[in-house]
Chain A
Amino acid sequence: MKPAVAKILRSSVTAVLALVVIFALWEGYKWLGSQTGDTWPGTAVELPVSSDDIIMPHAGEIVGELFSDIRDGRSTLPLSLFLLKKAWFTLQEAAIGFFLGSAIGIGLAVLMLRWRVAEQGLLPWINVSQTVPLIALAPIIVTWGRNQGLPDIVSISLISTYLTFFPVAVSALRGLQSPDSAHVELMRSYAAPWRTTLIKLRLPAARPYLFPAFKIAATLSVVGAIVGEISIGTKTGLGRAILEFAQRYAVWPERLYASVFGAAALGLFVFGMISLAERLVLRRTDEVVA
């Protein structure tokens, strides 16, 4: 357990350090811009991004904004708590999207493993599916959902599902195909039926391939949920908050930046949860005895 704790500690310190460096670069850039009038020092060439306080509010003010009060219905609370509340809704939609998408992804992979025809027929469409812009797809799903009388959370989760199934399907297929021929021949020598080989050999062998895909899928599920909220126009969730703050960006830019922090934090949270699950499932000692 000790080395694991040290590892977590080390990565937390690294993360904080990285944040400090980003802040320093941010403020350094702003300072440079204010000194030169947004040009490269000694030239008339403009900086790529204007350093004024609307485009780039001070890092300190963005962080400070997290602790400033905001009205939420009839109550008033700090922005950080407000975002946390909104993130809770988004997390639920993302979680449904993640689990549904992963199940569909694994199901498709098994289908493609079982029938080569399915692989040849499905794989191109699975790839094409990801080129459809979410913005175009979202209203279709929403309208369909409302016609079916489904609550909006279902439609948002479906949009999230649409993003998550893809990396899982592709990686699961690779993982299921990963056992070498000796393993497959071994199962054949036991006269093991296809389903037994799947459960005892292919699925366990696919786990190291699945977890990286789960990590991508988890962060995508948050993106999908937020985009879904925005395109549906729900009354709650992080996406709604981001939409509102975006409309008032010109006068209150710190808020939008702070809410982006909220979205990033949620993404990091789900990523961390999957990493934790990976460690629990794939726990193995690497100590060599002989």
Chain B
Amino acid sequence: MSKGADFPAVQVNGVGMVFNKGATGEVAALDGIDLTIRAGEFVTLIGPSGCGKSTLLRLIGDLLTPTAGDVSVFGRSAHESRTGQDYGMVFQHAGLFDWRKVKANIELPLELRGWSRSDRGARSSEMLGLVKLDEFGDHYPRQLSGGMQQRVSIARALSFQPRLLLMDEPFGALDEMTREHMQGELLRIWGETGTTVVFVTHSISEAAFLSNRVIVLSPRPGRVHSIIDVDLGDRTPDTREDPDFFSAATTIREALRSVGGAE
């Protein structure tokens, strides 16, 4: 087993986050968050806007530093984990570099790690296969649709085979049909790679369809309101019509109502 296998993927201990601390405009974004995410899990963070779910994701990724508590990723501090490039990140907007071809975008993190040209080429072709964009390696991002761009962004995040994938509303800007398709694709990729996924969304159906566990956050300051286990077995397109899927969605919806967040 790889190093850190005995540790949870993510361990969040008593984390609080206050922006502009001590200044005017001080905002308490998160308070007293405790959370354990096991390796290989697919966990969704959901909550009304202002609940700090994106902030929590950024704390796990060490893009922000908590004002209280600590975060560890595979047994290392979040900071060590970022400098060790333990995780890949996918944002709401694909964030591809439009002067780079699709292939070169996927290879960016490999380039930064000093991979040789041939190794990069081999890996990016493999990744293009994984996200089913084999023929688009030599295209420029703006020649692709939004869904395809987001798939490239996922390929880029997975190119160096990180053990953790952090996703910040990655399908939020896509239309419903593309979105459902992408959710299916993501679960397939998750199954094939065994990566741990932390996924931020504000869509109830997305949370129910994708996750093993849904973390419901309450707003201002963000606190963990409840943790909902979702057990739907292997997801197929039919899962969306399964009564278990609806009851999971209902549980999440009720939790969200009680924290005062409309969908």
Contacts and interface: CB of A to CB of B under 8 A. Distances in A.
B143 A289 contact: yes
A290 B91 contact: no
Interface in A189-203: 189-192, 196, 200-201
Contact of A289 (B61, B99, B144): B144
Given A189-B82, A190-B109, A285 B143 contact: yes
Nearest to B109: A190
Nearest to B160: A190
Contact of A186 (B83, B91, B92, B143): B91
Given A185-B89, A191-B85, A200-B112, A284 B95 contact: no
B97 interface: yes
**Residue among A191, A205, A207, A284 having the largest count of chain B Cβ atoms under 10 Å:** A191
B6 to A, nearest CB: 24
A204 B89 contact: no
B144 A186 contact: no
Interface string B76-113: 00000011110111011101010100000000110110
B262 interface: no
Interface residues of B, number: 29
A182 interface: yes
A289 B144 CA distance: 6
A200 B99 CA distance: 10
B143 A191 contact: no
A288 interface: yes
B59 to A, nearest CB: 13
Contacts, number: 62
A201 B99 CA distance: 10
A201 B89 CA distance: 17
Given A185-B63, A185-B91, A190 B112 contact: yes
Interface string A155-195: 00000000000000000000000001011011011111000
B139 interface: yes
A204 B99 contact: yes
Contacts of A288: 142-143
Contact of A183 (B97, B111, B112, B148): B97
B112 A192 contact: yes
A205 B96 CA distance: 12
B7 interface: no
B140 interface: yes
A186 B142 contact: no
Contacts of B111: 200
Nearest to B58: A185
A156 B52 CA distance: 59
Contacts of B142: 284, 286, 288
A287 interface: yes
Contacts of A182: 91-93, 95
B95 A189 contact: no
A131 B131 CA distance: 56
Contacts of A196: 112
Contact of A285 (B87, B95, B140): B140
Contact of B95 (A183, A191, A204, A286): A183
Contacts of A186: 89, 91, 95
B20 interface: no
Given A189-B63, A189-B82, A204-B99, A287 B89 contact: no
A194 to B, nearest CB: 13
Interface string B152-171: 00000000000000100000
A188 B97 contact: no
A288 B143 CA distance: 4
Nearest to B88: A189
Interface centre among A185, A188, A190, A196 (most CB of B within 10 A): A190
A190 to B, nearest CB: 5
Given A182-B91, A185-B89, A207 B112 contact: no
A134 to B, nearest CB: 37
B145 interface: yes
A200 B96 CA distance: 12
Given A207-B99, A290-B145, A290-B148, A191 B140 contact: no
Contacts of A192: 112
B144 A290 contact: yes
Nearest to B93: A182
A188 B61 CA distance: 9
25 contacts: A182-B93, A182-B95, A183-B97, A185-B63, A186-B91, A186-B95, A188-B82, A189-B63, A189-B82, A189-B88, A189-B166, A190-B108, A191-B82, A191-B84, A192-B112, A196-B112, A201-B97, A204-B97, A205-B97, A205-B99, A287-B143, A288-B142, A289-B143, A289-B144, A290-B148
State the 5 A-B residue pairs at the shortest beta-carbon distance, nearest first: A182-B95, A182-B91, A191-B83, A290-B145, A189-B89
Interface of A: 180, 182-183, 185-186, 188-192, 196, 200-201, 204-205, 207, 284-290
Interface of B: 58, 61, 63, 82-85, 87-89, 91-93, 95, 97, 99, 108-109, 111-112, 136, 139-140, 142-145, 148, 166
